[in-house]
Amino acid sequence: MTERKPIIELKDVWKIYQIGEVKVEALRGLNLKIYPGEFVAIQGPSGSGKSTAMNMVGCLDIPSKGHVYLDGQDISRLKESDLAQIRGKKIGFIFQKFNLINTLSAAENVMLPLTFLDVPESKRIEIADKMLRMVELDNRTEHKPNELSGGQQQRVAIARALAVNPDIILADEPTGNLDSKSGATVMGFLDKLHKQGKTIVMVTHDDDLAQYAERIAVLRDGEIVEKINHTRKHGKLFKESNE
């Protein structure tokens, strides 16, 4: 039997920030493997290092020491321009603050990453239409972010993340700015993507949110202190608001 290989591996990863004369160890020898098709939650309180870990997983930063592998390639010492190319093709980002451009319509926001990859305009329009239908916003394609609810903006952000057909979806506190009903809808879409075979990595401090994952890595002081494997409790999150 062929051994399953991780799509992402953090190997003895340290991240040290120099603030004046003080060294801050945000990550301290972090080891983490994420396999294709998994739904993994990285959980921990404020200051635990989970945001720094997210930056490593998402190729947004490189470690001070250690190695980060993406599809077997060591990206630990790549230039920012090379990291940007990898991010653009392999990773879709969903952020707590949506990060939509207010002057662009929903469709134009979804098309933006495709523009950076030099996808022809006709194809960009086709993909944007398809992605917005997928998140049930095909009747909001020309609306700008300030004309959409928080939940709708986050669904546009999901559509944008999917536009490049990435191998990995990285979600950073994806329901943090949403009410419970909108949050349940967003988590429903992430759950559906996972069932379709996407690799989902979610960073959260929320115990209920983490229950959607197959595996939870709990961080404290820049290290994994606990690994939890469990059968997900579908529908647990925000259950009271949906009854």
Q: Residue 168: give its domain's CATH number.
A: 3.40.50.300
How far is C-alpha 232 from the geometric centre of its chain's CA atoms?
19
Count of the separate structural domains present in the chain: 1
Q: How confident is the model at residue 66 (pLDDT cuts 50, 70, 90)?
A: very high
Determine, yes or no, domain membership for 5: no
For the stretch 9-45, pLDDT in tens is 999 999 999 888 899 999 999 999 999 999 999 998 8
Task: Give Dmax over CA atoms of the chain in angstroms.
Answer: 54
Count CB neighbours of 94 within 10 A: 24
Q: What is the mean pLDDT of the chain?
A: 87
Determine, yes or no, domain membership for 11: no
Determine, yes or no, domain membership for 9: no
For the stretch 127-181, pLDDT in tens is 999 999 999 999 999 999 999 999 999 999 999 999 999 999 999 988 888 888 8
How far is C-alpha 54 from the geometric centre of its chain's CA atoms?
8
Burial class (CB in 10 A: 0-12, 13-18, 19+), 196: exposed
Domain containing 219 equals: 36-66+79-242
Distance CA(195)–CA(94), nearest Å, equals 18
Determine, yes or no, domain membership for 16: no
Distance CA(172)–CA(30), nearest Å, equals 19
Determine, yes or no, domain membership for 139: yes
pTM for this one? 0.85
Q: How confident is the model at residue 238 (pLDDT cuts 50, 70, 90)?
A: very low
Residues 6+ apart with CB under 8 A from 76: 62, 63, 66, 67, 68
Per-residue pLDDT averaged across 187-198, rounded?
90
Determine, yes or no, domain membership for 209: yes
Buried/exposed code over 200-239 (b: 16+ C-beta within 10 A; e: otherwise):
bbbbbeeebbbbbbbbbbbbeebbbeeeeeeeeeeeebbe
For the stretch 104-133, pLDDT in tens is 999 999 999 998 888 999 999 999 999 999
Determine, yes or no, domain membership for 62: yes
Determine, yes or no, domain membership for 4: no
